[in-house]
């Protein structure tokens, strides 16, 4: 079962029993159900796909089907507005043969029942999707293994999808990988990072490696530095108890932000297949310079939002949120500087920042170019030329824009920044999607390109471990009002190198 990228005309995925552990949870509601529906709408699921919910509540098969339909209707209305509807035929096709297993994830009897469902399904293929709290990952996998459910046949597959967070530091990630790899092969493990399901993230690779123009300037001769930002306007919402012991660094950096960094910084893979792509990603994240404790402290900023006002509305501070300690020291914002020690990137800083309750939702990569080496034009100095850049916006307005200098019309030689742009919505009809469609489909067809290999995960944790270690000794926390773009110290991190963050929005 070698994995090759799907062709542009995708065929329906093979018949499979898809077990959703944590079937009544938030992930199934917000993302998996709409994604499965969208796949069914696009004809990408086989008639033999069987969805089986697994959770501890007592629910009949019919009640489970209704629950998913309610989830879907809510999400469709939420995202697409009033008037949007669910196509009954698509839904009926998807939920044909849907069933539910009531069981404790830690009880062996649950797994006996799962085996019975596979035996009755008409296919030996099964995917076990662990949409559960992370404490269950290794417990469930071990029970799947001892019940014989991970054993593949010559023509049948058994795969396990693991959600994030995958570990909470390098040591726990290594332990979890060791536990998984003891009972199944890497080819059976699909570690999810939903950023890889985003069209714009995948487009970074396509743009870089199918337009030879990019390669000409994609190096330390022309690029001054790179900024990667994931700014959110939402606060911690209902996830206070999870976030309290996670914080912005663990929640976003070794996974989502490093995915973006890897897409920008990796070398061209020899083929567009799982092994080659993941090998290059592992190499570049592995080349992030390990900071000493002192360097990690100087090259990082931790922030936490306090109460603030946005559009006349008062927003609570993090410490006032539900399930958050009134003296919490958890960061909701982090800014970092990292260096990549390889031929292409030596000397080019990568500045990363992410935060909750910032002024706008904006996930973007800004590739800042060096100024022209010599100012030919009368009365201009290189220092006075504004910096130029390429901005890749991942969300909400997906696309990419070059910011360049041009002459202003008129008799004098004045320059202005202009924009050359590509917005997805101007070129393509975008069907509603969650980003999980590609990931679920790829898992069903056995393509691991967009999933994290063990070394990808461990290299990510290895690169953030110096920050975690340094913060154990000194976790200075800067406050920023909700609705602003992080604390002043986040700006100083760049200012001391003579740089500024690109204005969000
Ligand atoms: C999740 C984090 O993995 O990603 C959340 O746990 C965060 O805290 C979310 O809000 C951001 O994802 P997106 O797709 O909205 O950028």
Is residue 259 lining ligand 1, measured as CB closer than 6 Å?
no
Ligand 1 centroid to residue 420 C-alpha, Å = 29
pTM for the predicted model, two decimal places? 0.94
Ligand 1 centroid to residue 152 C-alpha, Å = 33
Ligand 1 centroid to residue 222 C-alpha, Å = 32
Is residue 363 lining ligand 1, measured as CB closer than 6 Å?
yes
Helices (H), 184-273: 199-210, 212-217, 240-244, 247-252, 258-265
Digit-coded pLDDT (tens) for 250-298: 999 999 999 999 999 999 999 989 999 999 999 999 999 999 999 999 9
Digit-coded pLDDT (tens) for 289-346: 999 999 999 999 999 999 999 888 999 999 999 999 999 999 999 999 999 999 999 9
Res 1: pLDDT: 37
List, as one string, the DSSP characters of 123-181: ---EEEEE-S-GGGHHHHHHHHHHTTTT---SS--EEEEEPSP--SSHHHHHHHHHHHH
Let me know if domain 3-163 sits in CATH 3.40.630.30. Answer: no
Residue linked to tokens 């061209």: 268
Instruction: Look at residues 159, 325, 303, 324 and name the one whose alpha carbon lies nearest to residue 237.
Output: 324
CATH 3.30.360.10 in the chain, residue ranges: 196-495
State which ligand 1 atom lies nearest to the alpha carbon of 236.
8
Is residue 251 lining ligand 1, measured as CB closer than 6 Å?
yes
Q: What CATH number should be reported for the domain whose range is 196-495?
A: 3.30.360.10
CATH 3.40.50.720 in the chain, residue ranges: 3-163
DSSP reduced 3-state for 252: helix
Res 7: pLDDT: 46
Which residues of the chain are under the pLDDT cut of 50? 1-5, 7
- At 308, which helix (H) or strand (E)? strand 308-310
Strand partners of residue 350: 226, 338
Is residue 232 lining ligand 1, measured as CB closer than 6 Å?
yes
Res 367: pLDDT: 98
Ligand 1 atom 2 nearest Cα: 251
Is residue 362 lining ligand 1, measured as CB closer than 6 Å?
no
Report the distance separating Cα 281 and Cα 353, nearest Å: 20
Residue linked to tokens 């159900």: 33
Res 3: pLDDT: 41
Confirm whether 256 is a catalytic residue.
yes
Ligand 1 centroid to residue 229 C-alpha, Å = 13
Q: In this structure, is the dihedral angle defined by the CA atoms of residues 193, 194, 197 and 201, taken in order, positive or negative?
A: negative
Of 56, 256, 329, 502, which is the active-site residue? Answer: 256
Ligand 1 centroid to residue 144 C-alpha, Å = 29
State which ligand 1 atom lies nearest to the alpha carbon of 242.
6
Per the CB < 8 A criterion, the answer to whether 396 and 387 are in contact is no
- At 479, which helix (H) or strand (E)? strand 478-481
Q: Which residues of 172-208 are buried (b: 16+ CB within 10 A; e: fewer)?
A: ebbebbeebeebbeeebbbbbbbbbbbbbbbbbbebb
- For ligand 1, mutation pick of 252, 358, 394 (most atoms within 8 Å of CB): 252
């Amino acid at each position: 079962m070698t994995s090759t990228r799907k062709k542009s005309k995708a065929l329906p995925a093979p018949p499979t029993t898809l077990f959703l552990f944590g079937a009544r949870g938030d992930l199934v509601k917000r993302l998996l159900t709409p994604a499965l529906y969208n796949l069914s709408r696009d004809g990408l699921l086989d008639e033999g796909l069987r969805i089986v919910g697994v959770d501890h509540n007592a629910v009949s098969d019919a009640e489970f089907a209704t629950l998913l339909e309610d989830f879907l209707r809510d999400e469709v209305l939420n995202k697409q507005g009033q008037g949007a509807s669910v196509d009954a035929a698509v839904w009926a096709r998807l939920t044909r043969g849907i069933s539910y297993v009531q069981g404790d994830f830690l009880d062996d009897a649950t797994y006996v029942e799962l085996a019975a469902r596979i035996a009755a399904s008409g296919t030996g293929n099964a995917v076990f999707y662990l949409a559960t709290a992370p404490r269950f990952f290794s417990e469930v996998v071990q029970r799947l293994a001892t019940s014989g459910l991970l054993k593949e046949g010559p023509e049948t597959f058994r795969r396990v999808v693991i959600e994030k967070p995958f570990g909470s530091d390098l040591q726990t990630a290594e332990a979890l990988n060791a536990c998984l790899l003891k009972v199944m092969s890497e080819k059976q493990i699909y570690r999810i990072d939903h950023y890889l399901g985003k069209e714009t993230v995948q487009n970074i690779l396509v743009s870089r490696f199918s337009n030879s123009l990019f390669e000409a300037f994609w190096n330390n001769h022309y690029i001054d530095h790179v900024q990667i930002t994931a700014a959110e306007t939402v606060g911690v919402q209902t996830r206070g108890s999870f976030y309290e012991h996670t914080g912005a660094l663990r929640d976003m950096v070794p996974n989502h932000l490093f995915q973006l960094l890897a897409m920008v910084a990796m070398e061209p893979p020899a083929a567009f297949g799982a092994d080659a792509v993941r090998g290059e990603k592992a190499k570049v994240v592995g080349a992030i310079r390990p900071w000493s404790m002192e360097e990690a402290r100087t090259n990082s900023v931790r922030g936490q939002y306090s109460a603030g006002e946005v559009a006349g509305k008062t927003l609570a501070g993090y410490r006032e949120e539900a399930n958050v300690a009134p003296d919490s020291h958890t960061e909701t914002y982090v800014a970092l500087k990292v260096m990549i020690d390889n031929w292409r990137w030596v000397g080019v800083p990568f500045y990363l920042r992410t935060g909750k309750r910032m002024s706008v939702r904006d996930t973007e990569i800004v590739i800042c170019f060096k100024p022209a080496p010599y100012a030919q034009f009368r009365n201009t100095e290189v220092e006075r030329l504004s910096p130029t850049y390429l901005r890749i916006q991942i969300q909400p307005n997906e696309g990419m824009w070059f910011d360049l200098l041009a002459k202003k019309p008129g008799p004098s030689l004045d320059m202005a920044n202009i924009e050359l742009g590509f917005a997805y919505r101007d070129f393509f009809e975008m069907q509603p999607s969650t980003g999980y469609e590609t990931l679920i489909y790829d898992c069903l067809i056995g393509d691991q390109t967009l999933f994290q290999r063990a070394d990808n995960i461990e290299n990510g944790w290895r690169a953030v471990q110096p920050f975690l270690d340094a913060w154990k000794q000194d976790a200075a926390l800067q406050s920023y009002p909700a609705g602003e773009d992080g604390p002043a110290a986040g700006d100083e991190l760049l200012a001391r190198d003579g740089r500024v963050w690109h204005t969000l929005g």
